[in-house]
């Protein structure tokens, strides 16, 4: 006898990503799993008096979105910071910062996020002197949108103990001036960590990124409660965008413990994978901690099976590692790992059965990452490892076929690209040679090569807005040659935000699609996406989000 559904969604247009039944009008859910799909009449007939009924009103019904590259703790905390996205020019920045400073008279550091590298004018490099003019009498710092640079005023540098410079790890830099003092530009986590320690959360939100270890000193009970509240807000924010799953890109035991506490209370409303972060200062025996994380957390809602590493920085600060120097420069970027150390780390992680995700933006960084994965395959034998490379903003043509050949997934963030409707379209071109344009942000080129392509946001680098990501992928801006049109079909883009991301976590048989027996992770959109002009995707949004059969958001 067929079970009575706990919940049904009727009157929609379902894209299931299930080959057995690609389309449906309605979905029935029981016990946290999808019970049946069909037309509205047949699914309505299954409902009982206690069944919750959701009317999709013609909107798209999709598998819940899985954002496969986020920084959950940091993004959650940053919802409370001053947001400078789109704010440019000295006067506008000053007004915004001084208004926030007046509203927070007791905060030890006025902190802003989403600062643009060119916010004080094209070609102008921001220094502490600029920020001293913005806020002269209190510590003030601001995060670049990409989270690879912090700029700090003199008071903040003094408070953080960085005005006279200091030691940093490989790949990080405190930029020094001719006067022997820090200029205020702090590149990469090893340089800016002391500034983060001054923020209201004491840098605990980014400890999993900066050190990969637990915060020091340990959080007090009051600080822990504050961190939990921030995570609750962040999870609710994600659910409001139709997200039911997250792949976190930084991690430590403290983050896992917080999320486990939320899971135990029934408050972890997005299924979350958290990695072990391996850094250049670590010895290979630290992978024992990765295995401990894997043993301790292995539920359907919270787990760890992955290692995260960084190979380079970002293009805008010329820390992305390139095959040749940047235009007009003799600098070719900064390697976080040297090849021998990276290869050894890949071999060891792969030997232990761990998946690897590596940040690689420059074309040499991508090549060295592929080399590391290939070294692991030679050493340990071929397996279904599903290693991944994050960002891939430049790529040499010789490395294009290596993704499919090695079974490496390409993890992209469409909103990061100059065609993505978020950043200034022409801002990146001066940093690249013309020959690099054709495969810059080359989503379709990699898809055509046979590689698995996954889409995400890298929140809080950009907003965790699934419709903004979809628009960037399906309706990107047109760029002149030699830029190549990398636009996606709607079906491919949605698959890369659902089923392909489930594949990345080895869960494609249980989630990322709408089929009987799969987890009831579902999003109902306000409109039928297939009937919309893709340029209008950001005008619609989520009507209802369902995770494990429970409604986690309703507009």
Residue pLDDT, tens place only, 496-551: 999 999 999 999 999 999 999 999 999 999 999 999 999 999 999 999 999 999 99
**pLDDT 10s digits, 475-505:** 999 888 888 999 999 999 999 999 999 999 9
Average pLDDT estimate for 253-257: 98
Q: What pLDDT is recorded for position 424? A: 85
Helix (H, G, I), strand (E, B) or coil at 133: helix
**What are the boundaries of each domain within the chain?**
7-64+517-554, 86-144+149-187, 217-504
Cα–Cα distance measured from residue 74 to residue 58, given in angstroms and rounded to the nearest whole number: 36
Which parts of 338-423 fold into alpha helices (H)?
Answer: 339-351, 363-380, 402-406
Q: Measure the CA–CA gap between 324 and 330, rounded to whole angstroms.
A: 9
pLDDT exceeds cutoff 90 at 426: no
- Mean pLDDT value across residues 317-328: 97
pLDDT for the residue numbered 62: 99
Mean pLDDT for the chain? 97
pLDDT one-digit tens code per residue, 288-314: 999 999 999 999 999 999 999 999 999
Percent with pLDDT over 90 in the chain: 96
Q: What is the pLDDT of residue 1?
A: 53
pLDDT at 255: 98
Q: Supply the pLDDT for residue 332.
A: 98
The DSSP string of 307-328 is EEEE----TTTT-S--SSPPTT
b/e per residue 11-37 (b: at least 16 CB within 10 A): bbbbbbbbeeeeebbbbbbbebbbbbb
What confidence category does residue 438 fall into, taking pLDDT thresholds of 50, 70 and 90? Answer: very high
| 88, 95, 131, 419 from 119: Cα distances, Å | 5, 14, 12, 19
SS3 248: strand
Smallest CA-to-CA distance from 201 within 173, 180, 230, 181 is with 230
- The arithmetic mean of pLDDT across residues 33-45, rounded, is 98
Q: Which fold has domain 86-144+149-187?
A: Diaminopimelate Epimerase; Chain A, domain 1 (3.10.310)
> 322 and 364 in contact (C-beta within 8 Å)?
yes
What was the pLDDT predicted at 36? 98
Per CATH, the homologous superfamily of domain 7-64+517-554 is Urease, subunit C, domain 1 (2.30.40.10)
**Rounded distance, CA 554 to CA 120, Å?**
40
Percentage of residues of the chain with pLDDT beyond 70: 100
CA dist 232 and 50 (Å) reads 29
| Domain 217-504 class, CATH top level | alpha beta
Residue 162: count other Cβ atoms within 10 Å of its Cβ: 22
In whole angstroms, what is the distance from residue 241 CA to residue 525 CA? 10
Residue pLDDT, tens place only, 161-218: 999 999 998 889 999 999 999 999 999 999 999 999 999 999 999 999 999 999 999 9
**Between the CA of residue 507 and those of 271, 443, 504, what are the distances in Å?**
12, 23, 8
Is residue 467 scored above 60 in pLDDT?
Answer: yes
> DSSP letter at 270?
S
Instruction: Write down the pLDDT at residue 482.
Output: 83
The DSSP code sequence of 167-192 is ---TT-EEEE-TTSSEEEEEESHHHH
User: pLDDT, tens digit, for every residue of 137-148?
Assistant: 999 999 999 999
pLDDT at 88 over 80: yes
Residues 251-264 have a mean pLDDT of 98
Q: What is the pLDDT of residues 394-414, one digit of tens each?
A: 999 999 999 999 999 999 999
């Amino acid at each position: 006898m067929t079970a009575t559904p706990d919940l049904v969604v009727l009157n929609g247009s379902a894209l299931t990503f299930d080959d057995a039944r690609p389309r449906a009008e309605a979905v029935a859910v029981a016990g946290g799993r999808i019970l049946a799909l069909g037309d509205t009449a047949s699914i309505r007939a299954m409902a009982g008096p206690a069944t919750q009924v959701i009317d999709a009103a013609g909107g798209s019904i999709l598998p819940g979105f899985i954002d496969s590259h986020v920084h959950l703790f940091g993004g959650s905390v940053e919802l409370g910071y001053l947001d400078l996205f789109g704010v440019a020019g000295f006067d506008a920045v000053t007004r915004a910062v001084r208004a926030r400073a007046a509203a927070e008279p007791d905060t030890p550091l006025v902190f802003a996020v989403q600062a643009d590298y060119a916010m004080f004018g094209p070609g102008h490099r921001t220094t502490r002197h600029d920020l001293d003019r913005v806020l002269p009498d209190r510590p003030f710092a601001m995060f670049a949108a990409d989270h690879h640079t912090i700029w700090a005023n003199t008071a903040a540098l003094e408070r953080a103990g960085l005005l006279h410079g200091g030691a940093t790890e490989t790949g990080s830099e405190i930029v020094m001036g001719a006067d022997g003092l820090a200029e205020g530009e702090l590149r990469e986590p090893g340089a800016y960590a002391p500034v983060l320690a001054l923020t209201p959360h004491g840098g605990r939100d980014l400890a999993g990124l900066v050190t990969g270890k637990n915060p020091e000193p340990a959080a007090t009970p009051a600080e822990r409660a504050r961190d939990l509240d921030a995570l609750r807000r962040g999870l609710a924010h994600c659910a409001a965008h139709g997200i039911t799953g997250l792949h976190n890109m930084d991690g430590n035991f403290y983050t896992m413990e917080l999320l486990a506490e939320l899971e135990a209370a029934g408050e972890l409303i997005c299924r979350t994978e958290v990695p072990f972060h391996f850094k250049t200062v670590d010895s290979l025996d630290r992978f024992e901690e990765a295995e401990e994380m894997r043993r301790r957390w292995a539920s359907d809602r919270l787990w760890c099976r992955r290692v995260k590493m960084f190979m380079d920085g970002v293009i805008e600060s010329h820390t992305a590692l390139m095959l040749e120097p940047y235009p007009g420069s003799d600098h070719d970027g900064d390697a976080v790992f040297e090849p021998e150390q990276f290869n050894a780390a890949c071999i060891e992680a792969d030997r232990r059965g761990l998946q690897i995700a590596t940040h690689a933006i420059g074309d040499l960084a991508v090549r060295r990452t592929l080399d590391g994965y290939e070294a692991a395959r030679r050493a340990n034998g071929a397996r279904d490892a599903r290693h991944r490379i994050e960002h891939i903003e430049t790529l040499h043509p010789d490395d294009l076929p290596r993704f499919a050949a090695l079974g490496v997934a390409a993890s992209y963030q469409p909103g990061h690209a100059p065609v993505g409707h978020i950043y200034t379209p022409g801002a990146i071109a001066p940093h690249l040679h013309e020959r690099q344009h054709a495969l810059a942000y080359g989503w379709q080129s990699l898809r055509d090569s046979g590689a698995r392509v996954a889409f995400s946001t890298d929140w809080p680098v950009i907003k965790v807005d699934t419709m903004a990501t979809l628009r960037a992928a399906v309706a990107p801006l047109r760029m002149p040659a030699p830029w190549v049109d990398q636009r996606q079909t709607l079906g491919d883009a949605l698959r890369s935000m659902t089923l392909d991301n489930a594949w990345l976590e080895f869960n494609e048989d249980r989630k990322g699609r709408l089929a009987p027996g799969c987890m009831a992770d579902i999003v109902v959109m306000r409109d039928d996406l297939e009937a919309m002009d893709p340029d209008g995707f950001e005008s619609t949004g989520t009507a209802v989000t369902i995770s494990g059969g429970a409604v986690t958001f309703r507009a």
